[in-house]
Amino acid sequence: MRDADLTPHAPYQRYHAWITNEDESRLRAKAQEAERMFRRTGITFNVYGDPDATDRLIPFDIVPRIIGATEWSRLTRGIEQRVRAINAFLHDLYHRQEIIKAGRVPLDLIRRNVALLPQMIGVSPPGGVYTHIVGVDIVRTGPGDFFALEDNVRTPSGVSYMLENRETMLQIFPELFAAIPVREVSHYPKALRRSLAACAPAAAHGEPTVAVLTPGVYNSAYFEHAFLADQMGVELVEGSDLRVVNGRIAMRTTRGYTPIDVLYRRIDDDFLDPLTFRPDSMLGAPGAMDIYRAGGITLANAPGAGIADDKAIYSYMPDIVEFYTGETAILKNVPTWRCAEPDALRYVLAHLAEVVVKEVHGSGGYGMLVGPAATKQERADFAEKLKANPEAYIAQPTLALSTVPIFTEAGLAPRHVDLRPFVLVSPERIEIIPGGLTRVAMKEGSLVVNSSQGGGTKDTWVLEE
């Protein structure tokens, strides 16, 4: 919010003037009101492996993160460039594999990758779109210094928190939105439905039928699945609601079975079709992949897209962007050591106290080691994991992440954050929602922002001017 000399940064000037004159007791009451609203709405998540198995309320902070219009414009150029390159990379991998022939990405990295789906070789999704919804995790280390930390192209989550965070702020601080020109995010569900419908297959007739496929109420993100289906005005379905009817995937309704044109699936590839992937899956639709390959349905995101957010592939993203766009990547990558390489492994083992180590296919903050915050024993135990299975890990330096203020019992205090903007891709356009999900490490000094690891969220404001 402020420079080292305590001068407010330009995007925060009006907000800073407002909060400086606010009574702390009023702000505390507003924070409690926001928590009550989250409880009433049922905005919860659960943590896999939690012995209590209880839904948790995600912590919400009432101080917004504010991004100026110029800064946002620069960010969106980098995000769009990256998303276009990822989509082109996926098409190439499942077709001619020119980037491998050119030696820009190693063949072994692709061939041995469990996220590569042989069933997608030669398959072109409707409209040529593999990544219909993308969440790019971005961190900042200095003025205008942004890094892409991860590319989430399987089933990126968190957009419901972005929308509810804004709705909550609008209700508890309406005067701020009257005084500060903040760009809207409430159109996301309408934009999502429009973007998905634009990716309908040739088999669709008239207005495309869109549905959201959920694993069910025990999934950690079930609230979001139900929320998005409701906001888009489409059906929320489970695998048991689906069957093949006349060469189409159809959903059970009170009027019989209705063909689905676009299925926004929130389940992993492995569970999508028991006839193609895991035969014990009860979550997907038998025959879905055959219908998909025949052009009878659009699956969003496309099966096999997950290889593009593999953390070992991430280290090649600057090359991938340059190969497919002919441009230097606008968003920088965090320097990354691939532990499968002997020299990199030796370096990481010698510097475990200084680096962050992540599982190649990990997510949610699980299976990682934050070296500077770990104990000597934790580092020693992790070193054994690395030696036993180096291909499963990458390592990165501990970045000096930027902080933004949160409201605590003691007043304003700095905490580390990241940002997940949400991107909608269709054959017609790439649309980046002005804002995104700011995740915040609620614990002092922590660099881990994931809700499963104690992180919270805050509203993200992109200014009109």
Q: pLDDT by residue (tens digit) across 59-99?
A: 899 999 999 999 999 999 999 999 999 999 999 999 999 99
Residue 5 within a domain: no
Confidence of residue 362 (pLDDT cuts 50, 70, 90): low
Q: pLDDT by residue (tens digit) across 97-111?
A: 999 999 999 998 898
Same domain, residue pair 273 and 421: no
Same domain, residue pair 277 and 406: no
- Cα separation values, 171 from 42, 163, 175, 190, 287, Å: 17, 13, 10, 21, 46
Q: pLDDT by residue (tens digit) across 253-262?
A: 999 999 999 9
Across 194-200, average pLDDT = 97
- Cα separation values, 361 from 312, 378, 394, Å: 9, 21, 10
pLDDT at 43: 65
Q: Which helix (H) or strand (E) holds 67?
A: strand 60-67
Across 338-342, average pLDDT = 92
49, pLDDT greater than 70: no
Residue whose C-alpha is closest to residue 85's, from 309, 317, 321, 314:
321
128, pLDDT greater than 80: yes
Number of domains in the chain: 3
Instruction: Judge contact between 301 and 132, C-beta under 8 A.
Output: yes
List all residues 6 or more positions away from 33 whose beta carbon is below 8 Å from its beta carbon. Answer: 172
Across 405-425, average pLDDT = 93
CA distance 360 to 177: 41
Mean pLDDT of the chain: 91
Q: pLDDT by residue (tens digit) across 166-186?
A: 999 999 999 999 999 999 999
CA distance 174 to 179: 9
CA distance 460 to 438: 6
Point out the domain boundary residue: 377, 397, 417.
397
378, pLDDT greater than 80: yes
Predicted structure pTM score: 0.91
Same domain, residue pair 437 and 323: yes
pLDDT at 151: 93
Domain that holds residue 221: 202-296
List all residues 6 or more positions away from 159 whose beta carbon is below 8 Å from its beta carbon. Answer: 135, 188, 224, 228, 422, 433, 437
Same domain, residue pair 457 and 349: no
Same domain, residue pair 222 and 326: no
